[in-house]
Amino acid sequence: MAIEKIDKLLGYVSFEDEEYPFEFFQEEFQLVLFPPTKMCWQKKANIVPIYESMGNGGSKEKKWADHIKIEGVTSEDYKIIFCVLETPVNYHGFKCYEVQWYYYCRTNFGYDKIRGLRIQGPEVNYFYSPEASLKKEIEFGENNRIEKMTVSAVSGVKCEKCGRYRIEEDLQAEIKVDATSTMYFDNPATPIDALSNMYIEFSQDVDVDTVVEEFYHVKCFFMYISYRTNVTFDRLETWFINTEGKRDFSGAIVFPTKRMKESNKRCASRILDYKILEDKTAKIFEAIVDGKMEYAHLCDSIDDMRQYSQARIIMILVEFEREFMNIYGKDYGRSEKYCKTKADIIDLIEQYRADNTGDSKRYAAEIKRTIEKLDGNSFAVWVKKALLDCINAMKTFIALKYDGDQKAAIEHLSKRVGEIRNGIAHGNIDFEIKAIHLTDLEIIEEVTYAIRLKYVGVSDKNISKGIKNLFNVNIDLTETCESSE
């Protein structure tokens, strides 16, 4: 049975060897501690002016505020832990903390006995459609007109596997999705509701800090597959393994909601969904865990996806470059002799570092890093190689945007974006953007996804479908998909 959602958070927390009554304010996402006694309050209130007067005499050291955890119990008798910034606002003895997240669970479970995470939200529904939990029946009458349509809830919908990925050397996780539906007999306006769930099941019990980190990876995944940052979640629940060996959804974690839900009417289709990724989903997660992904080029919303500021153009090109190097390597396409020569030089420098100390060793390390970062080819060559490598998935999109021979089109667009990238590398950020450049950038965005999806094992047919959906390309893929099968 799932833990209840708390509408009003009140209770007691242990802080500075005392028990403080607390209240949490959801809208501000702030925790307020109330002094346990009047004497304690007067002591805290009177000492504030002293601290303020001490601070007025000189400049305060500026530094990032650290996080601390404050534990307690709620009025519903749930255990609760708040992660807060350690520097509270002290309003006449009443401390007010900015909360980063909070977690609560039933008292018979510990913070370090978590076996899995269940995620619900709009993007989860878009990734795996809740329609899997619904049964539709249509009756036709004369002239093939619909006379009756029935929608009913389906029980026992099986979980679909999305693969396993590594979090740490001794910790793995398995991803699954399913859908559930509920009948409301007392609500004629909404008699049936359906939603989807994503499950992250760990190979062993983990603590709440690991869950927080994995939620970050979950959020990054949904940002990646939707090409936008305004992803939101309705519910994040944790489960434990009870004495009967079954899942017990006895905990929930809550983060501040800083973004508005996506409002575009086509948001449900503008995503790389489960039908595209299937069990390759976990390989995207693993790339995220390994730090192979960046998100600075993503849009704030669907409506921003075709707005190209100079800053975003730079980020799109940088993201392609980073993905290319992660997947193919800096020296992709270079001769075996080139790669061996480069490796031999690096080995010689490493031996020099081992034989020397001080500045000589430090300078050698700098030279080594410079050689390691040497680009094997130009940006234009990388674009050309990526497009040719993914030509089966990309050819329809290239034909849509450019007339004539595709190889010539690839050659020309590679040269154009290469010139922009080289100009940026030499400090020219005041470049002129023409209509053809915007078309080129659309191709760069698409092929950046194509090389990653191909690398994790998605078929050419599904790559094409995914790009069409994600970037809302108005094109018929029937012929392309048939030729790819």
pLDDT reported for residue 223? 97
CA–CA separation, 347 and 234 (whole Å): 53
Q: Which region, left, alpha or beta, applies to residue 358 given φ > 0 means left and ψ of -120 to 50 means alpha?
A: left
Q: Please report where in the chains the tokens 């190097």 appear, as a residue.
A: 325
Domains of the chain: total: 3
pLDDT reported for residue 377? 61
Whether 93 and 183 share a structural domain? no
pLDDT reported for residue 334? 63
Whether 272 and 319 share a structural domain? no
Whether 237 and 122 share a structural domain? yes
CA–CA separation, 247 and 239 (whole Å): 6
pLDDT reported for residue 470? 97
Range of the domain at 199: 114-289
Whether 174 and 262 share a structural domain? yes
Residue 317 CA to chain centroid, in angstroms? 20
Burial code of 395-425, b = ≥16 C-beta within 10 A, e = fewer?
A: bbbbeeebeeeeeebbeebbebbbebbeebe
Whether 142 and 243 share a structural domain? yes
pLDDT reported for residue 207? 96
Whether 94 and 161 share a structural domain? no
Whether 92 and 122 share a structural domain? no
Is residue 273 a part of any domain in this protein? yes
Whether 97 and 161 share a structural domain? no
pLDDT reported for residue 229? 95
Over the chain (485 residues), what is each successive 10-residue block's mean pLDDT? 84 91 94 84 57 47 75 95 90 86 92 95 95 78 75 76 96 96 69 89 96 97 97 96 90 90 92 97 97 93 90 92 89 68 81 85 79 68 95 96 93 93 72 87 97 98 97 82 54
Contact 250, 256 (CB under 8 A): no
Whether 215 and 282 share a structural domain? yes
Whether 264 and 401 share a structural domain? no
